[in-house]
Chain A
Amino acid sequence: MASAKIARRDFLKVAAVTGALATLSGPEDVVIRTLKRVEARALGPQEYTVPGLCRMCVNSCGTFFRVRDGRLRKIDPNPNNPANAGNLCARGQAGVRRVYNPDRLKRPLIRRDKSLRGTWQGFEATDWDTALDEAAAVLKKYIDAGEAKSIMVGGGWLPCGVYKPYVVAFAKAIGTPNFVGSPPPLCFFPKAFAWTVTIGAGGHPHIRADHEYANYIILLRRNLAGSIGVPYAWQFARAKKRGAKIVVLDPRMSESAALADLWVPIKPGTDLAFLLAMGHVIVSEGLYDEEFLRRYTNAPMLLRADSNAPAKTWDDPDTGKKKYLVYDEATGEAKAHDEALRPALAGEFDVEIDGETVRVKTAFQALVERLQQYTPEWASQICDVPAETIVRVAREFGTIKPAVIDPGWHDPKYQNSVQTWRMVAILNALVGNIDRPGGLIFNAAGRSLKSSALPDARADVQWMKKKGIIVSTAQPMILAYYDAIVNGDPYPIKAAVLTGGNWIRTLPDDRKWKEAFKKLEDVIAIDVMPNDTVSYADIILPDTTYPERDDPMFGVGFSPDAAVATSVRAIDPIYDCRPMIDILVQLADRLGKKDAYFQNLGAMLGVDGAALKSAYESEGIAGIRRVQVEAKGVSYDEIVAKGAVVLKARDQLIGTMPYKKPLGTPSGKVEIYSLKMAGIMAKKGYSEHWDPIPTWIPPRVMDGVGGNVFYLTYGRSPIASHTHTADNDLLASIGRPEHFGVWINAAKAAELGIRDGDMVKLTSLATGQSVVAKAFVTDGVRPDTVFTVSAWGAESEELKVAKGIGGVALNKLWPMHEDLFTLLPNAMTQEVLVRVEKA
């Protein structure tokens, strides 16, 4: 991998500047002029590079910022960072144009007429002291009245995935428990929940398919190549070159499907049927790894034969893990799982439990029985995929080693999302690939996860308790805040401090969120771009772009190697902007909460708060970095020169869980049968959504498609991460119609009289709202499905590039499902049908 690239670079160094110049040929004056240019470039005293971290998406790839004559010229990939390993995508390259984007917020703005929210009218430019004083006065009003908790500190992926401790420290310091980042039920929750109950980790920074060594890869509900995420995409693309076979289940020909050996244009929302049928083939043909299942999973766990409930579980006080009974084939008795000589994997038995004879079967037996009904022929009818294809993929997955099904990224798409990913996790476990090279492995960040409960004082926690939602699985629940703002339920949220994010353009049913943002008494926004949501602010505090600031130290996510990284300021802010951390500290200071801020921050970062404060006071954010780096035992000079330092390489980490170290599941094993879900079932009664053994759940919107009504699907494109990157002139110029438009099947478009490039109107049957966008007519999408990219639909006229692109505002088409929380939290963003007409 990286070493090959470095070797090639070494070779190129042979062509050192002076030597190579001698090889120039052509008219003499041409040679001289070229020489001069080379000299100027090579010697240019005004050129330097510093290491940085990309902030065009959450992957935070390592970069080098190159500056010449005081201007950021180029961003190059940083091979020292193990996540992207010397690769960078178009968005990362286009970071230069984020800095020099004339649409940026350039100075603090204040607007006193709150009736103008949602527009750009009425703002007055001001200086930082005035803006910060006014913002502090707003917050002080609530704090003094004892109503600090009615302030919501919110944001998107930046405070969620990158700056969380820095924002949470502020929320805590001013006395509110209500911090909300990216909303998990709209982001990764259903997928992450399924993985977490099975192997103890499930967020996208925590687990990965080991594309680097896999020989057979199945990808579903994810477009790894097209949505990029360089830390994953570089290995995925190279797997293909290495000769790995790739199968992609997707209703449209995504960039990943284009790369694949087999594209399966599956009916939207039916992947679970495909997977269940794969499971059917694998267990009926004996293609599973018996030894792995017996030793490292709870497949031998005994269940009561009549109810499929665990026969008996109890706590192990030494490990804090659940113990369970298995049937020991050596003695013919039920025994604690860690005391049996040879636990039976399959079978039904009569055993004595606490003096009572009970009919039991193993969890594996229950799974086999469950899968019996899910034949490839059955799935074929549901998925619109030939049964032979399902059989072939199942056999290949069961026999080619190592094989892996990718763990996905974003999936709050269907009511069956949880069981879909449960089945993916179980299939991976059936072939015994967990934490083995080429299998389903943990990123360094996923090896030691701590879960902490949300404070009871939070508005969303109280709201969920009231509605009987399963709080034990809860993640911050942004959608509960709609009720809190608009209806004062469970208590009123009156003010918002936004630290990034674009809720007006990303949360289901934008009308509701516009209403909420008009209702708020005070809105303060810290952001780089004048996006749709910032237009609802009263006070705007402009953030810097990432090359204009120093960063603290971060653990590198998205990498199997354990590493730390930082970003060094390349240039001074080109406008009157300040880094968000400085803004938060300055606000806290004005509220007399600076000590509290650093105490909170120190507690979260695991360093001394007072030391942080004094280092910050002398060196700014770089001081925070210095304290962190020293606590980690890393050389400060090394990290600011290299940008990233590897602490432990992947080879020292892979193969440990669950082999040497228990997983974060209740039993510490891979849970074929989910004890967490069994616990929910015990409390709430049976639901197919938390059946501890996966079962088929159809998507809600199977019917009603035909004529001009389609399934709505969406994804990312390589030229846009999310609305955050939508306003970038370089990316816009690279984009093609397939990146901006609405994919419609060619034959179907002909039937409807729609030609490529025509404007079409999409009307959501769920919200009644319509959007107009350009048709991209293609053979690369199912006839019953339309597809579009999720970054577009900006309404803010200050985003001149994004507004010019137009495109679909998905959150006008997504409803806020009323029963969203009766299930596991899940926004069900593809449970939507749209009517398509020529505009």
Chain B
Amino acid sequence: MTRYGMIIDLRSCIGCGACIAACDMENETPWEEGKRRTYVPRFTFGSYPNVTVVYMPRLCMHCENPPCVSVCPTGASHVTADGVVLVEHDLCIGCKYCVVACPYDARYVDERIRSVDKCTFCYTNRVLKGEVPACDATCPGRVRIFGDLDDPNSEAGRLAASGLAKPLRPDLGTNPKVLYVPKVKSI
């Protein structure tokens, strides 16, 4: 069974924002603060000169156990059989339960379509046509690796199986299908 997910390899993220721009154009998001399907905060640790900077691409985690879907009163939030969490805009009543329930800050209200919106992995517009999501397709650092996590022949599947890639907040029991390879220094 196909189980779509994405590996985010923090080792090679250069914080360039190509993924954000690609997503905004592909999905015609409102592209304003807090109303984007993906964003890349920059974190600085330490004090001069012992400083580390981490760029952290964020998006919907497409959880196997998605709190947003269980709280949705209308069924607008749902999961496809291949594991992609989607919002059916026509069924969304704008109650924002899901926005609150999501522990990953992945959802926002798009007033233009009167619905909650979020990352879809570009499911209908790209993935079903045999393409990878727009963010993956453009990423110069090859940070984002989309694929079937259950397919041992896919890069995403291999990384998922390797144990190198880790979920965010595993303690919440959400079981994300977006996994992060942490940044390490080799010297």
Contact = CB atoms under 8 A, between A and B. Distances in A.
A261 B17 contact: no
Residue of B14, B82, B155 with highest tally of chain A CB at under 10 A? B14
Given A25-B78, A92-B18, A733-B31, A253 B186 contact: no
A241 B9 contact: yes
Interface stretch (A357-365, A547-555, A778-786, A787-795): A778-786
Contacts of A26: 75, 78-80, 86, 88
B176 interface: no
Range class of the A interface residue count: 35 or more
B103 interface: no
B162 interface: no
Contacts of A683: none
B24 A237 contact: no
A94 B147 CA distance: 26
Interface string B1-28: 0100000010111111110111011101
B81 interface: yes
B67 to A, nearest CB: 17
Contact of B16 (A96, A253, A718, A733): A718
Interface stretch (B93-101, B104-112, B133-141, B167-175): B133-141
Range class of the B interface residue count: 35 or more
B141 A255 contact: no
A12 B42 CA distance: 31
A781 to B, nearest CB: 7
B119 to A, nearest CB: 16
Given A73-B25, A230-B140, A718-B14, A42 B129 contact: yes
Contacts of A783: 48
A133 to B, nearest CB: 40
Contact of A779 (B12, B42, B44, B127): B44
A783 B47 CA distance: 12
Interface in B22-43: 22, 24-26, 28, 31-33, 42
13 contacts: A8-B145, A30-B88, A76-B138, A77-B138, A88-B138, A90-B16, A90-B20, A92-B138, A233-B141, A241-B9, A718-B15, A719-B17, A734-B31
Contact of A731 (B21, B42, B47): B21
A27 B75 contact: yes
Contact of A238 (B80, B91, B142, B185): B142
Interface of B: 2, 9, 11-18, 20-22, 24-26, 28, 31-33, 42, 44, 46-49, 51-55, 75-76, 78-82, 86, 88, 90-91, 124-125, 127-132, 134, 137-143, 145, 147-148, 151, 153-155, 185-187
Given A76-B138, A233-B140, A718-B15, A9 B48 contact: no
Contact of A253 (B22, B53, B86): B53
Contacts of A75: 25
Interface string A410-421: 000000000000
A611 B33 CA distance: 54
B91 A779 contact: no
Contacts of B143: 237
Interface string A220-248: 00000110101001100110110101000
B51 A780 contact: yes
B153 A11 contact: yes
Interface in A249-267: 253, 255-259, 261-263, 265
A88 B140 contact: yes
A489 interface: no
Given A11-B148, A15-B2, A237-B141, 18 more contacts: A8-B154, A21-B128, A27-B75, A33-B90, A77-B138, A93-B138, A240-B12, A241-B141, A253-B51, A255-B15, A261-B187, A265-B48, A734-B21, A734-B31, A746-B48, A779-B47, A779-B51, A780-B48
B54 to A, nearest CB: 8
Contact of A38 (B49, B75, B128, B153): B128
Contacts of A25: 78-81
Residue of A15, A37, A41, A778 with highest tally of chain B CB at under 10 A? A15
B86 to A, nearest CB: 8
A745 interface: yes
Contacts, number: 218
Residue of B25, B79, B82, B143 with highest tally of chain A CB at under 10 A? B25
A89 interface: yes
B130 A12 contact: yes
B131 A259 contact: no
Interface of A: 4, 8-9, 11-13, 15-17, 20-21, 23-27, 30, 33-34, 37-38, 41-42, 73-77, 84, 86-94, 96, 225-226, 228, 230, 233-234, 237-238, 240-241, 243, 245, 253, 255-259, 261-263, 265, 718-719, 730-731, 733-734, 736, 738, 745-747, 778-783
A27 to B, nearest CB: 5
Given A74-B25, A779-B46, A20 B82 contact: yes
A731 B22 CA distance: 11
A241 B14 CA distance: 12
A258 B124 contact: no
A456 to B, nearest CB: 44
Contacts of B80: 23-26
A96 B78 contact: no
Given A26-B88, A243-B186, A15 B127 contact: yes
Nearest to A229: B140
Contacts of A736: 42
B182 to A, nearest CB: 12
A482 to B, nearest CB: 36
Contacts of B24: 93, 730
Contacts of B151: 11
Contact of A24 (B14, B81, B132, B148): B81
A38 B142 CA distance: 27
A96 B32 CA distance: 17
Given A4-B155, A17-B128, A241-B9, A258 B20 contact: no
Nearest to B53: A258
B82 to A, nearest CB: 5
A89 B140 CA distance: 7
A726 to B, nearest CB: 15
Given A263-B51, A731-B21, A226 B16 contact: yes
A12 B131 contact: yes
B186 A41 contact: no
Contacts of A265: 48-49
Contacts of B79: 25-26
B47 A262 contact: no
A245 B184 CA distance: 11
Given A93-B18, A238-B141, A719-B17, A15 B128 contact: yes
A20 B4 CA distance: 12
Contacts of A84: 140
Contacts of A259: 12-14
A503 to B, nearest CB: 28
A262 B9 CA distance: 19
Nearest to A230: B140
B143 to A, nearest CB: 8
Contacts of A734: 17, 20-21, 31
Given A15-B127, A33-B88, A74 B26 contact: yes
Contacts of A17: 128-130
Contact of B88 (A34, A38, A780): A34
Nearest to B81: A23
Q: Which 4 pairs across A and B sit closest by C-beta, in order of nearness?
A: A237-B141, A93-B21, A26-B78, A258-B53
Nearest to A73: B25
A805 B34 CA distance: 19
Contacts of B11: 240-241
Nearest to B11: A241
Given A24-B81, A96-B25, A88 B130 contact: no
Nearest to A22: B81
B21 A90 contact: yes
Contacts of B128: 15, 17, 20-21, 38, 42
Given A26-B88, A731-B21, A736-B42, A8 B141 contact: no
